[in-house]
């Protein structure tokens, strides 16, 4: 088989890139390890920056999001009973969209089906060959048979555990990493959200986040030790812990119920530089991971696609390589700023095992400062709604 851009990974970054390239008449083949049902069952991000919303419009996949997504003009940060509202609308003139990653991915699959794009699921043993030559190709196994896909470019959109990043020789790249000593236990429940806006809660019992997917579907997270397993967390234990972290007026009126999904995710900050090796480009989680506290993971994957897709169109259609030659530098500038914000939000809101008494005071004082300084709130809002591309 032959195509212009081989895309490894059919998560949000691979599908969005494929959709934008197909719309411009550039041929793609998406190779995805999992089944479509499996990809759509992974509950992950929930907050879309204005830039992400714009990109989904550009890709022609925004109709359902515009109807069903929840536009949020602000969010809260809390410290025990102190609640600080960050008014995005007033401070930055814009809003964010609460719309789940599973819905974004589902909309992209439907759009790709509608334009007859090629997405091959349940493939195994992807190997990227000759990425540093003018004639790269990808080999993979599907239904027991080994196949070859020749292409002009390869987009590595296969997440943190994919093969694309590892294809780049270790002496050609540099990794930067911080692993946090805790994870997030996430729960989805068919209950009314605890509050009409998201609450990022610091408390003497640790961090919690109250989020949502709709007026009847809630998404919550609490900070847990990395050694914990989902089996150790009954629904009852989860609700008790969550309530002990949220402001008491919110906890008092909160609706609880049976969980419909429960999972634990570790927290890490990670960047692999550069994002390009020859004709291979890394996109999204394949190149970088942020702790979820700033809601940046999915949004960064979309901003990488923003920098790459027009560059690939120019290279394929006009032989103009100026865009692909600067992709890595342009994308990394924004990636590092989101890294900084996510690290800062994580440090400001979580308890670290073995920390000294000073650390908790620093968190309290940061929240106090936010409550009193519009400048501090504006800085947070500007980063949260997404820095300009
Ligand atoms: P992915 O979504 O990881 O997609 C990569 C795709 O490639 C997958 O479908 C995978 O099956 C496929 N793949 C992997 N290896 C191969 C291979 N060898 N061959 C072919 N295909 C392959 N962000 C937030 O903002 N908020 C959150 O609450 C949040 N929670 C998260 C929870 C978890 C458990 C994880 C892992 C991430 C979470 N994130 C969250 C981050 C966010 O979901 C990601 O940043 C986003 O999914 C990145 O999209 P992507 O397309 O780059 O990568
Ligand atoms: C959600 C997840 C996040 O990491 C975040 O910062 C905000 C919302 C969510 O799943 O709804």
Ligand 1 atom showing the smallest separation from residue 301 Cα: 52
306 is catalytic: no
Query: Ligand 1 pocket, 297 CB below 6 A?
Result: yes
The helix or strand, by DSSP H or E, that contains position 238, with its residue range, turns out to be: helix 235-245
Query: Ligand 2 pocket, 75 CB below 6 A?
Result: no
Phi, psi angle pair for 190, to nearest 5°: -80, 75
* Residues 6+ away with beta carbon under 8 Å from 198: 47, 72, 75, 76, 98, 209, 210, 211, 212
pLDDT of the residue at 265? 96
Phi, psi angle pair for 165, to nearest 5°: -60, -40
pLDDT of the residue at 75? 98
DSSP-assigned states of every residue in 152-182 = SEEEE---TTSSHHHHS-GGG-EEEEEEEEE
- In angstroms, the CA 289 to CA 18 distance is 22
Cβ proximity of 5 and 13 under 8 Å: no
Query: Ligand 1 pocket, 131 CB below 6 A?
Result: no
* Residues 6+ away with beta carbon under 8 Å from 85: 74, 75, 76, 197
Ligand 1 atom showing the smallest separation from residue 31 Cα: 20
- In angstroms, the CA 159 to CA 175 distance is 15
pTM: 0.97
180 is catalytic: no
384 is catalytic: yes
Query: Ligand 2 pocket, 102 CB below 6 A?
Result: no
DSSP-assigned states of every residue in 246-311 = S-HHHHHH-----EEEEEEEEEEEEEEE-SEETTEEE-GGGTEE--GGGS-HHHHHHHHHHHHHHH
Pick the residue whose CA is nearest to atom 7 on ligand 2.
295
Q: What is the mean pLDDT of the chain?
A: 97
Ligand 1 atom showing the smallest separation from residue 283 Cα: 52
Cβ proximity of 295 and 384 under 8 Å: yes
C-alpha to C-alpha distances, 163 to 166, 257, 284, nearest whole angstrom = 5, 40, 13
**Closest among 141, 182, 370 to 291, alpha carbons compared:** 182
- In angstroms, the CA 30 to CA 58 distance is 20
Give the residue, out of 297, 331, 339, 346, with the most ligand 1 atoms within 8 A of its beta carbon, to mutate for a pocket test.
297
For residue 120, the tally of other CB atoms under 10 A from its CB is: 15
Residue with tokens 């909160």: 254
Residue of 195, 292, 306, 307 with catalytic role? 292
Ligand 2 centre distance from Cα of residue 277 (Å): 32
Q: What is the pLDDT of residues 167-224, one digit of tens each?
A: 999 999 999 999 999 999 999 999 999 999 999 999 999 999 999 999 999 999 999 9
* Residues 6+ away with beta carbon under 8 Å from 222: 184, 185, 206, 207, 208, 238, 241, 242, 245
Query: Ligand 2 pocket, 219 CB below 6 A?
Result: yes
Give every residue of the chain whose pLDDT is below 50, as ranges: none
pLDDT of the residue at 178? 97
C-alpha to C-alpha distances, 122 to 33, 85, 104, 138, 251, nearest whole angstrom = 5, 45, 21, 15, 43
Ligand 2 centre distance from Cα of residue 300 (Å): 14
Residue of 109, 137, 153, 200 with catalytic role? 200
Cβ proximity of 32 and 10 under 8 Å: yes
Ligand 1 centre distance from Cα of residue 349 (Å): 24
Query: Ligand 1 pocket, 197 CB below 6 A?
Result: no
pLDDT of the residue at 166? 98
Three-state SS string over 114-153 comes to HCCCEEECCCEEEEEECCCCCCCEEEEEECCEEEEEECCE
Residue of 195, 288, 296, 350 with catalytic role? 296
Ligand 1 atom showing the smallest separation from residue 295 Cα: 25
pLDDT of the residue at 202? 97
């Amino acid at each position: 088989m032959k195509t212009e851009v081989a895309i490894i990974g059919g998560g949000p970054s691979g599908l969005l890139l494929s959709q934008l390239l197909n719309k411009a008449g550039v041929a793609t083949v998406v190779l995805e390890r999992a089944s479509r049902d499996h990809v759509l069952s992974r509950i992950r991000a929930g907050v879309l920056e204005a830039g992400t919303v714009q990109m989904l419009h550009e890709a022609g996949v925004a109709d359902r999001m515009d109807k069903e997504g929840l536009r949020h003009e602000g969010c809260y940060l809390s410290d025990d009973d102190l609640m600080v509202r960050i008014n995005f609308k007033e401070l930055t003139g814009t809003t964010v969209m609460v719309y789940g990653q599973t819905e974004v991915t589902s909309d992209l699959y439907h759009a790709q089906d509608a334009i007859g794009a090629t997405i091959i699921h349940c493939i195994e043993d992807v190997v990227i060959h000759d990425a540093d030559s003018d004639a790269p190709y990808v080999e993979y196994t599907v239904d027991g048979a080994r196949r070859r896909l020749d292409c002009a470019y390869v987009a590595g959109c296969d997440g943190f555990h994919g093969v694309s990043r590892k294809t780049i020789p270790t002496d050609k790249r540099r990794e930067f990493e911080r692993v946090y000593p805790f994870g997030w236990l996430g729960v989805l429940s068919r209950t009314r959200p605890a509050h009409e806006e998201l609450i990022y809660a610091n408390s003497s019992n640790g961090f919690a986040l109250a989020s949502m997917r709709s007026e009847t579907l809630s998404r919550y997270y609490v900070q847990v030790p990395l050694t914990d397993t989902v089996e150790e967390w009954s629904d009852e234990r989860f609700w008790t812990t969550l309530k002990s972290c949220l402001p008491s007026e919110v906890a008092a009126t909160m609706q609880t119920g049976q969980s419909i999904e429960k999972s634990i995710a570790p927290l890490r900050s990670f960047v692999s530089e550069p994002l390009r090796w020859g004709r291979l480009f890394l996109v999204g989680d394949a190149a970088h991971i942020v702790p979820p506290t700033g809601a940046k993971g999915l949004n960064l994957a979309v901003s990488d696609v923003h920098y790459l897709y027009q560059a690939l169109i120019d290279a394929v259609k006009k032989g103009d390589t100026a865009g692909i030659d600067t992709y890595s530098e342009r994308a990394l500038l924004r990636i590092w700023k989101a890294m900084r914000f996510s690290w800062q939000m994580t440090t400001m809101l979580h308890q670290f095992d073995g920390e000294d008494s000073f650390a908790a005071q620093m968190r309290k004082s940061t929240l106090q400062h936010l409550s009193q300084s519009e400048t501090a709130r504006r800085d947070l809002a500007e980063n949260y709604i997404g820095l300009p591309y």
